[in-house]
Amino acid sequence: MTALPAPILAKLAQELTAIRAETASLEGLVSVGAASLGPAGTVEAQKLDHILQSLDGLTTLLTGLSQGTPFERAVAELPLAQMADRLGDAPANKPDGFAHRTTMLVDPELF
């Protein structure tokens, strides 16, 4: 497997930052819709927060990698434990080693 050059990793981090900003702009709309659905809507709205946290985590990971942080350390420093566990399953020579894992939104880590 060929490692991506640092400038590409940095550019990917920038792209994720832009995607996060666009996604965050939906918070007001989601909140209004969630409020109309009661408690069940609130639970569903928390998924947006989980998406935003995941984008933050991926951005942090890519930024660290672009700055030369070793993969294992960059993953270990992720703020989302579930993401660190999933990515930590990926051996360096087999990047699809964690592809069988799925994201569970049962208990998202909220700010």
Over residues 19-45, the pLDDT tens digits come to 999 999 999 999 899 889 888 888 888
pLDDT at 111 exceeding the cut of 50: no
The answer to whether 66 and 10 have CB atoms below 8 angstroms apart is: yes
d(CA 17, CA 22): 9
Residue 109 within any structural domain of the chain: no
Mean pLDDT value across residues 46-73:
92
* pLDDT value of position 89: 67
Q: Which residues contact 16 (CB under 8 A, 6 or more apart)?
A: 55, 58, 59, 62
Residue 62 within any structural domain of the chain: yes
pLDDT in tens, 68-94: 999 888 888 887 776 777 777 655 555
Range of the domain at 10: 6-90
Residue 54 within any structural domain of the chain: yes
d(CA 104, CA 60): 21
To the nearest 10 degrees (0 to 180), the angle between helices 39-66 and 81-88 is 50
Tokens at residue 5, please?
Answer: 């050059």
d(CA 29, CA 39): 16
Residue 20 within any structural domain of the chain: yes
Residue 107 within any structural domain of the chain: no
